[in-house]
A and B are shown apart, each in its own frame.
Chain A
Amino acid sequence: MHLNMSGDKPIFLQFAEELEENILKGIFEEETQIPSTTEVAVKFKINPATANRGVNLLVDEDIIYKKRGIGMFVKIGAREKITAKRKNAFYENYILSLVEEAKNLNITQGEIIAMIERCCQNEHNRD
């Protein structure tokens, strides 16, 4: 896990996103335990309350659940939920900035589409 402390984004949010990323990658599998907030706080040198805030965000979204006295676990269906959430954010996070930069560089709509097709083709050939 890696947190960027430069201050562009609140740390609790970054931590929550890192947890999601690791769940998506299968590093934390569903129904398995994730590190405690103390462990995380010590490792990243952050306030335990900050780590807790990040975890609570995912608890509210039904991605993580707490077992009293034992720890925190990844919920069944968490990966699916995260994927759906990311898909929703795809347009805002990637497409908008892509089109904007293309406009700055005078790249036409046709050229963008051609580039995407080329990229997908390359990916396809590699597989």
Chain B
Amino acid sequence: MSIIEIKNVSKNFNNTNALKNISLTLEPNKIYGLLGRNGAGKTTLLNIITNKLFANSGEILIDGETVVENDNAQVKIFHVAQKNIYTVNMKVKEGIKWTQEFYPNFNKNYAYELAAKFKLHTDKKIKDLSTGYYSIFTLILGLASGASVILFDEPILGLDANNRELFYRELITNYSEQPKTIVISTHLIDEIADVLEEIIIIKKGELVLAQPVDKVMLMGYTVSGDCTNVEKYTLGKNIIREETMGRLKTTTIFENRDRNDKEQIKELDLEITPVKLQDLIISLTNS
């Protein structure tokens, strides 16, 4: 069980601010979705947590200790990264053995069990794996690592639908049997929306929100109807998306809905519908 505290972290690359003053706490044993568009800063944040990059300012603590140049801290975290960090001629089984050296709670039998389930050939060289199988290889290491925090950076990159399903099932089983903090950065949000407990949205290096999924879902809703009536209703509300077709207008609102609006909705003849998490994220991260 570990807690990660991210305090006022900023990161600049040359002249661009990749992360701007991010503060956030990852509570123990929760499943987080780290969401945002390409280049929003998700990978940069994960790289700073795992000591692959240094922040320009701010700090990150795990169980009260800094994550910078601290083996004691890093051994609690497994980073399922996109970049290949394995040596040229290393085979899958050697990669498994090598990971075991770093992670004292690594479960080798479980890793082989997962490899069999995903039909990953452990005698193959890592560099010869396809994109999908490289993802499978790294996510197996993550699941078997025994770390109290697993950071998955696009774990399903290149995976077909069957293998994605298998991954979600194994992830839920793993979490259920051995609770841990899980952070998943992904673009296929709807596939995993119901597995997440909290979501973190980053846009252009800034934290947009960090909230429980059910709260976020309650905040987002669409109103549709005659455009004049819709505008009457949405006046002063936080609008994140608008679409008009003839006189029909559909507006997406993002704020806690006042449940006393039922009369008004009836009077204006409006229809209220829930929004899918994926659509909500699109609206919230559009520039």
A residues contacting B by CB (< 8 A) are: 5-8, 10-11, 37-38, 41-42, 44-50
Contact = CB atoms under 8 A, between A and B. Distances in A.
A98 B245 CA distance: 31
Q: Name the prevailing secondary structure of the B interface residues.
A: helix
B132 interface: no
Nearest to B31: A47
A48 B277 CA distance: 19
A38 B177 contact: yes
A45 B217 contact: no
Given A10-B214, A47-B31, A5 B194 contact: yes
24 contacts: A5-B193, A6-B274, A6-B276, A7-B217, A7-B274, A7-B275, A8-B274, A38-B172, A38-B176, A41-B172, A41-B176, A42-B169, A42-B176, A45-B192, A45-B195, A46-B172, A46-B195, A47-B31, A47-B172, A47-B196, A48-B172, A49-B197, A50-B194, A50-B197
A48 B172 CA distance: 7
Contacts of A5: 193-194
B175 A48 contact: yes
A45 B167 CA distance: 11
B176 A37 contact: yes
A46 to B, nearest CB: 4
Contacts of B277: 7
Contacts of B276: 6-7
A8 B214 CA distance: 11
Given A5-B193, A11-B194, A50-B194, A45 B214 contact: no
B98 interface: no
8 tightest CB-CB pairs across the interface, nearest first?
A: A7-B274, A38-B176, A48-B176, A46-B194, A42-B172, A41-B172, A42-B169, A7-B217
A46 B175 CA distance: 12
Given A7-B217, A37-B176, A38-B177, A47 B274 contact: no
Contacts of B176: 37-38, 41-42, 48
A42 B214 CA distance: 19
B102 interface: no
Nearest to B175: A48
Given A38-B172, A42-B176, 14 more contacts: A5-B194, A6-B276, A7-B217, A8-B274, A38-B173, A41-B176, A45-B192, A45-B194, A45-B195, A46-B194, A47-B172, A47-B195, A47-B196, A49-B197
Interface in B179-220: 192-197, 214, 217
Contacts of A49: 197
A46 B31 CA distance: 11
A48 B177 CA distance: 10
Interface in B134-168: 168
